[in-house]
Amino acid sequence: MVSAGLEILGLALCVLGSFLVMVSCGLPMWKVTAFIEANIVVAQTIWDGLWMTCVVQSTGQMQCKMHDSLLALTHDLQAARALTVISSVMGVLGLMVVIAGAQCTNCIQGEYVKARVVNAGGVTFIVSGLFVLVPLCWMANSIISDFYNPQVPSSKKREIGAALYIGWAASAMLLIGGSLLCCSCPSSSNSGYSVKYAPTTKRATPNGGDYDKRNYV
């Protein structure tokens, strides 16, 4: 029961984490305009994402434009695109593996094999969490470095957007959920080991009994 509870909790965290990774990948709010000047009343706010750049007017209107060329993007955006997509794909694969080996399904026979399949799914989710954590930290470091760089003009400086915080939460859920899935183990009653007893030999006695005299002290 404890192992099944860990599987359910770990799977729930991993599914939610994978969903948040996809949300973070699609949101354009990786970089947002930094309000560092004296006049905070601005006419527009700029959002920079992995796939598009959006401009939000003060009137509430928003216009978005897809990035024209992949090669024209910065290295951190190119790496973030690739790693977040790989993380999303690995999240889906990990979900399929865990469901195949879960205790509540009959896709695989044998408690020992099912536990190892769930462990493999947990490792997949952990790797997925690491893949999405790398571009998030890289992007945050780039934003902070440019923010405190005096050579960067104020109009080019950005702040950390909401997509990065969502991605960090998703990474934490994937790492925790994958670790819980790695703790899954087969029940002791179905461990695959059987106890074998050696048969006792009996000798016929002259009195007709079959009890071995060696048992007497």
In a domain, 59, yes or no: no
Domain range enclosing 90: 1-29+72-184
In a domain, 105, yes or no: yes
- How many domains does one find in the chain? 1
In a domain, 123, yes or no: yes
Which residue type is seen at 114?
Answer: K
Give the phi and the psi of residue 151 in degrees, each rounded to 5. -80, -15
Instruction: Read off the tokens for 34.
Output: 């930094």
In a domain, 48, yes or no: no
In a domain, 116, yes or no: yes
In a domain, 61, yes or no: no
pLDDT tens across the length of the chain (217 residues):
566 778 888 899 999 999 999 999 999 889 888 776 654 556 678 888 889 888 888 777 888 888 887 777 888 888 899 999 999 999 999 999 988 887 777 777 778 888 888 889 999 999 999 999 999 999 999 989 888 888 888 777 888 989 999 999 999 999 999 999 888 776 554 444 444 445 555 555 555 555 555 544 4
Instruction: Indicate the pTM of the whole model.
Output: 0.77
What's the pLDDT score for residue 186? 64
What is the domain-level CATH number for residue 169?
A: 1.20.140.150
CB of 79 closer than 8 Å to CB of 142: no
- Cα–Cα distances (Å) from 23 to 49, 75, 78, in that order, read 12, 21, 18
In a domain, 201, yes or no: no
In a domain, 166, yes or no: yes
What's the pLDDT score for residue 71? 77
Give the phi and the psi of residue 66 in degrees, each rounded to 5. -70, 150
The SS3 call for residue 155 is: helix
